Amino acid sequence: MYNTIVIGAGPVGSYLAGKLAQLGYKVLVLDKKMAAGQDICCTGIVSKECLDLIPIDKNLIIRQASSATFLAPSGKPLRLWRSHEVAYVIDRPALNLALADHAQKSGVCYLFGTQVADIQAETDRFCVAANCREQKKLFEAETVVIAAGFGSPLPGKLGLGEISDFIIGAQAEVNISDHGEAEIYFDQRLAPGGFAWLVPTRDSKGLAGLLTHQQPEWYLNKLLSSLKTQDKITSTEAILGYGAIPLRPLPKTYADRILVVGEAAGQVKPTTGGGIYYGLVCADIAANTLHQAFQAHDFSESRLASYQKGWRARLGKELQVGYWAHRLYQKLDNRQIERLHNFISKNGIPQFIAELDDFSFDWHSELILKTLKHLAVAIPAQAIKPPIKHKATANSLNCQ
Ligand SMILES: Cc1cc2nc3c(=O)[nH]c(=O)nc-3n(C[C@H](O)[C@H](O)[C@H](O)COP(=O)(O)OP(=O)(O)OC[C@H]3O[C@@H](n4cnc5c(N)ncnc54)[C@H](O)[C@@H]3O)c2cc1C
């Protein structure tokens, strides 16, 4: 009998498990993968604030960045910079390994190759049914945390609702010609509804990827061909990876003895699809909520509701404004994007961002609202509509 079973050994699950073990709880982490850090599709860009939260060796940092170039559909560049580093590219598989290793050293037990099929509430505990290397196993715990990433059916089975909108991330490791700074491409022909990127990593390697609402494989191949034609990469041969990324939060992230965190709860920046930092912020709130529940011996839904209140107070505005900005951008055509790009460049916005005292890589709502106040781009009123219902399921698209 464990105090807590965490489903998912991604960065969020392992970080939370480590926190709970440090508070003295007996924690088991179950993951369907055979080992931590396998099959990961992620660029690994995080902020300094994020790095400050995690107990990892600084060797995992591949690059630091204080600037990036944003390209309009015409190829016109716009450089944004800050006087000091704001983002770091980290070795993402190594991050998962390091967080799992740290949690294990704090006393957490791990069982890989264990896929949770069902969780059942009993009066004083939860029973977790899993397929563990072709055997059916049952585990018991007082509380369960679902940190199983996006696309897990478990929150839906528990009646916690569904995430109503998502985007697909597609990425490939490529050989690059120039080890300069990261480039971000805004072009609806390259990445409809999203954007594309080329991020140098190490040893003449880089990550080329995009966020799109449709045909990720086709658009990624198109991006690679375009980068090859421009001599930015040396070959279009690459292994392609995909993952669906939530754009909206799960309606309910708690129930009796249950919390949902990270991508499973939709705790992701809708502007960039980055989910590591927000997931860790919410894991801290989840660990505190569970600690208080253990101290009071009260795991009722009404006590655990403070978790959702806490993370909504911290992230709610960011998720709302970020999603609104995403929806607005999604409706722009290339001509409007080009005008927006010109406007930003001609109206001193790069300088304004360079000098902003409160610039943050993670908290975008204030920056969006301040920047939008300056923009006179005509955006049709129908741009903001309810989310599109996608036919494909997140599960069928997720690479994990
Ligand atoms: C192309 C792409 C690029 C990205 N780039 C960035 C970036 O630069 N920066 C950033 O912050 N974010 C980025 N992200 C998003 C980031 O990868 C995720 O937000 C992050 O991994 C979420 O962490 P998590 O721990 O919540 O879930 P995950 O990392 O998805 O971990 C969930 C774990 O649960 C396990 N699991 C699932 N179901 C079960 C089950 N039933 N039983 C047992 N185990 C289960 C899975 O095997 C997995 O190990 C990117 C995503 C994509 C697709």
Please report the atom of ligand 1 found closest to the CA of residue 114: 43
Distance of CA 92 from the midpoint of ligand 1 (Å): 10
How large is the greatest C-alpha to C-alpha distance in the chain, in angstroms? 64
Burial string for 349-382 (b: 16+ CB within 10 Å, else e) reads bbeebbeeeeeebbbbbebbeebeeeeeeeeeee
Please name the CATH architecture into which domain 166-245 falls.
2-Layer Sandwich (3.30)
Amino acid at 131: N
Numbered ranges of CATH 3.50.50.60 in the chain: 2-44+91-163+250-323
Encode the chain (400 residues) as per-residue pLDDT tens digits.
999 999 999 999 999 999 999 999 999 999 999 999 999 999 999 998 999 999 888 899 999 998 999 999 999 999 988 888 889 999 999 999 999 999 999 999 999 999 999 999 888 899 999 999 889 999 999 999 999 999 999 999 999 999 999 999 999 999 998 878 999 999 999 999 999 999 999 989 999 999 999 999 999 999 999 999 999 999 998 999 999 999 999 999 999 999 999 999 999 999 999 999 999 999 999 999 999 999 999 999 999 999 999 999 999 999 999 999 899 899 999 999 999 899 888 877 788 778 877 777 787 777 777 666 655 443 444 444 444 444 444 444 333 3
Token pair, residue 315, equals: 């992230």
Helix axes 11-22, 276-296, angle to 10 degrees: 30
> Which atom of ligand 1 is closest in space to residue 89's alpha carbon?
8
Q: Which long-range contacts (CB under 8 A, 24 or more apart) does 297-304 make?
A: 299/142, 299/143, 299/256, 299/257, 300/256, 301/254, 301/255, 301/256, 304/254, 304/255, 304/256, 304/257, 304/258, 304/259
- Topology of domain 2-44+91-163+250-323, per CATH? FAD/NAD(P)-binding domain (3.50.50)
CATH 3.30.9.10 range(s) for the chain read: 166-245
Written as six digits, the tokens of 110 are: 């791990």
Residue 286 parent element (H or E):
helix 276-296
- How far is the centre of ligand 1, averaged over its atoms, from the C-alpha of 381 (Å)? 35
| CB of 147 shorter than 6 A to ligand 1 | yes
Entry pTM: 0.92
Burial class (CB in 10 A: 0-12, 13-18, 19+), 263: buried
∠337-341-343 over CA atoms, to 5°? Answer: 115
In short, whether 41's Cβ falls inside 6 Å of ligand 1 is yes
* Helix, strand, coil share of the chain (percent; to 5): 35, 25, 40
